[in-house]
Amino acid sequence: MRRPFDKADRSTLARHAHLLSPSPASVALKLLGIAFCVLLVSGAAVAAYVAIDLTNRVGDGAVALEGDDDVAPPALGAYPDDRAFNILVVGTDECGEITTSYLGARCSEADGGIRNDVNLLVHVSAAPRNVTVVSFPRDLMVEVPQCTRVDGSKAPSMSKASFNSLFDHAGISCIAQTVTEMSGLPVEFAAKISFDGVIEITNAIGGVEVCVAGEGIHDSQAGIDLPPGTHTISGKDALAFIRTRHGVGDESDLARISNQQQYMSRLAKKILSAETLTDPSTVLRLANTVVDNIVPSEKLSNPLTLAQLALALKDVPFADFVFVQFPNAPDPDNPKSKVVPVDDAAEALWAALAAGEPIALSGDVTSHSGVVLSTPSPSAPPAETPTDAATPPATGTPDVRATLPPEISGQSVDQDTCSKGNQAK
């Protein structure tokens, strides 16, 4: 069983009231706020060493994973080629100052608990690197092992519990243990981010361009109204986009995850673009924002480790950077509100990650009609191949990929999708 957090639940963030209708939407930004914190701090690694206060702040309030050793990385450079690693990204439904100003009563009238509505496992294989981001539905019913709370007390095991109840049950350590029990994969790094962090990170890179298809997105509950087309969103609009449920697909939380994956994919492209990573002011602003808006595990708070992880990711092809939704089906005990794992498909996913193979998707890009594949404009000229482009040598070796079962939906970063919008009330 994977180690839980030792002090992992000691957050520097105040326990603000949570949203009455939390959303895995934060999953998207939260994931990118962190999984890409790694990337952000890649360029930021240099800044982190130059700016001592950034180095100090990133470790402020860091949490410990039980069983972690205290050995620092040996030197600046990429993470060892022969080692895979996993980052757990937990997005909580906490309302900070910014979110409260946007959502008002939805925050102030909440009951004070904190739920982990965004749960992402970012798996990075050994070299040659590929990245798979697994989104766990907040309403997924899972078996939970006995966990150790921050005060040292034991939280009992549960034969069946909703995934988004685990933070309140026993903190991030319990989420990490549960993921390891499900997957067989160790969780070496973890971090928590709230709604305010999602907003701040999006603003730091100047917003993200998203695509809306169908009738456009209108959802008064989320506070969003976007006509069909492309839109650069930030601030309140970015939060509303990742929170909207009724405005996309069949209005389910599972459709919302697909919509969030569109956002994450486009955010990944922007963060990894030369436009971002070659602009020192943007990189430093992004680094500062990440440092101020996440609570990392102790290993992740080490600037050298952050730099190593970032360097390990920098050359991953977009086709090998894949977002998937954990395979699920309606819970027989509560088919309208909860889902349960599809075991055969899940085993195929975990086996592929354990083998380090790049992923090939055979299922749809979406779950519950949340997005549709984008098609190029008929008037757009075909892309030209640069005359000086090098031709990869023929190796005679086929590209070995693990084809996932059709029950697993998702998309790679090199695919462009658009939200399938609805006109909700």
10 Å CB burial of residue 236 (0-12, 13-18, 19+) is middle
User: What pLDDT does residue 221 have?
Assistant: 87
**pLDDT, average across residues 84-91:** 93
Reported as type and span, the H/E element at residue 218 is: strand 208-219
What does the radius of gyration of the chain's CA atoms come to, in whole angstroms?
20
State whether residue 321 is helix, strand or coil: strand
**Top mean-pLDDT range of 6-20, 29-43, 184-198:** 184-198
Q: How confident is the model at residue 308 (pLDDT cuts 50, 70, 90)?
A: confident
Say whether pLDDT at 245 is over 80: yes
Amino acid identity of 245? Answer: R
E strands of 236-378, at which residues? 294-296, 321-325, 328-330, 339-341, 359-361, 371-373
State whether residue 325 is helix, strand or coil: strand
User: What pLDDT does residue 201 have?
Assistant: 84
Say whether pLDDT at 48 is over 50: no
State whether residue 271 is helix, strand or coil: helix
The tokens of 295 are what?
Answer: 């609570």
User: What pLDDT does residue 328 have?
Assistant: 97
Neighbours of 421 (CB within 10 A): 26
Q: Check residues 271 and 180 and name the one with the higher pLDDT.
A: 180
Q: Are 18 and 95 in contact (CB under 8 A)?
A: yes
pLDDT tens digits, 150-190: 888 999 999 999 999 999 999 888 999 999 999 999 999 99
Q: How confident is the model at residue 416 (pLDDT cuts 50, 70, 90)?
A: very high
User: What pLDDT does residue 379 have?
Assistant: 36
Q: Are 54 and 89 in contact (CB under 8 A)?
A: no
User: What pLDDT does residue 285 have?
Assistant: 79
User: What pLDDT does residue 378 have?
Assistant: 37
User: What pLDDT does residue 292 have?
Assistant: 80
**Summary mean pLDDT of the chain:** 78
User: What pLDDT does residue 71 have?
Assistant: 43
Say whether pLDDT at 135 is over 90: yes
Q: Check residues 371 and 387 and name the one with the higher pLDDT.
A: 371
State whether residue 59 is helix, strand or coil: coil
Residue by residue, DSSP assigns 92-161 as E-B--HHHHHHHTHHHHTS-S---EEEEEEEEEPSSSP-EEEEEPPTTBEEEE--EE-TTSPEEPPEEEE
**pLDDT, average across residues 260-288:** 80
User: What pLDDT does residue 283 have?
Assistant: 74
Say whether pLDDT at 229 is over 80: yes
| Residues contacting residue 195 through CB under 8 Å, at least 6 positions apart | 19, 26, 93, 94, 95, 96, 98, 99, 239
**pLDDT, average across residues 303-332:** 87
pLDDT tens digits, 343-372: 999 999 999 999 999 999 999 998 899 999
Whole-number Cα distances in Å, 108 to 100, 197, 210, 239, 338: 7, 19, 30, 18, 27
Say whether pLDDT at 402 is over 80: yes
Neighbours of 60 (CB within 10 A): 12
User: What pLDDT does residue 381 have?
Assistant: 41
In the chain, pLDDT over 90 holds for what percent of residues? 45
Separation of alpha carbons 143 and 158, rounded Å = 6
Say whether pLDDT at 12 is over 70: no
**pLDDT, average across residues 31-45:** 40
User: What pLDDT does residue 239 have?
Assistant: 87
Say whether pLDDT at 389 is over 80: no
